[in-house]
Amino acid sequence: MDHLLSMKQLGKEGIRSLLARAAELKAGEPHALGRDYAVSNLFFEPSTRTKTSFEMAEQKLGLSPLPFEAGFSSTLKGESLYDTVKTLEAIGLDALVIRHPEDGYYKELEGRTSVSIINGGDGSGQHPTQSLLDLFTLQEEFGKLEGLKVTIAGDVAHSRVAKSDRDALELFGAEVRYLCPPEWRGDFEAVDDWEDVLGESDAIMLLRVQHERHGGGEDFAPEAYHARYGLTEDRAARMKEGAIIMHPAPVNRGVEIAGSLVEAPRSRIFRQVENGVYVRMAVLETILKGRD
């Protein structure tokens, strides 16, 4: 694997391999990198979890990422992403983790750089490492992915997480349902009533409202949204026995999920964050070893 750009490129065996390696790393098995590699994290959108998770993964792999701050880079002077990547290739970078607001930003790089690209999220497109950590968390909880019933609720049309998880979960035969306001369905078939999914779901994943991708001018009432589409305490109490709550975060408490549920016994939200480090270690290790 030279790059990780989307979940569609991995296939079932590629996903299984990465999840198995993440489990070994979480269990304490040492990493298998035999030398140092030059990596950097290029984040052109704000990030807490993904960026720091990659930084921790790199640290645990014995890597020292080259600092890069988009707000102080030559992109502010008009330099293209392609020229930025080619500059870092010339400096000697082996791999770049890139988050960018443009859908499919990596397409202009394919076949034009020797640097390995790991997609840390592209616009409303894909977020493969988030999807992998979601799968890892589900597999860790239920021992399987096949046959699970997963509901993704929220702003699915603008969510790269929803798209990545759809591609991966359906590949494994999971039943994925979507709940959202009609105007946020996009190309998803979605319901807008919790009663259609609440009692059957093994996992409910909440998504935040992505105001930054709505183009402005949105008349949004958080309290009304929470009452109609949020996971309230009452709805959580009626979830299926053994079902879990997930969220890729950042969380808007009291909007898509009641604040009291974020750290409730059913919640795996911070477990997802923990698992993200090991998944990203597995991805980096696999790609960097492949360069040798």
Beta bridge partners of 152: 178, 205
Ramachandran class of 3: left when φ > 0, alpha when ψ lies in -120 to 50, beta otherwise? beta
% helix, strand, coil for the chain, step of 5: 45, 15, 40
CA 244 to CA 264: how far, in whole Å?
10
Query: Omega before 250 cis (within 30°)?
Result: yes
Q: Is residue 127 marked as binding?
A: yes
d(CA 281, CA 55): 10
| 3-class state of residue 245 by DSSP | strand
User: According to the annotation, is 166 in a ligand binding site?
Assistant: no
Residue 250 annotated in ligand binding: yes
Which residues of 184-243 form beta strands (DSSP E)? Answer: 203-206
185 labelled binding-site residue: no
Beta carbons of 270 and 48 less than 8 angstroms apart: no
Q: How far is CA 212 from CA 118, 215, 223, in A?
A: 23, 7, 19
Q: Per the annotation, does 291 bind a ligand?
A: no
User: Residue 242, Cα to own-chain centre: how many angstroms?
Assistant: 24
Question: Is 208 annotated to bind ligand?
Answer: yes
What tokens were used for 53?
A: 């998770």
Known binding residue 21? Answer is no
For residue 248, say whether it is annotated as part of any ligand binding site: no
What are the binding residues for carbamoyl phosphate? Answer: 49-50, 99, 127, 130, 249-250
What are the binding residues? Answer: 49-50, 77, 99, 127, 130, 160, 208, 249-250
What are the binding residues for L-aspartate? Answer: 77, 160, 208
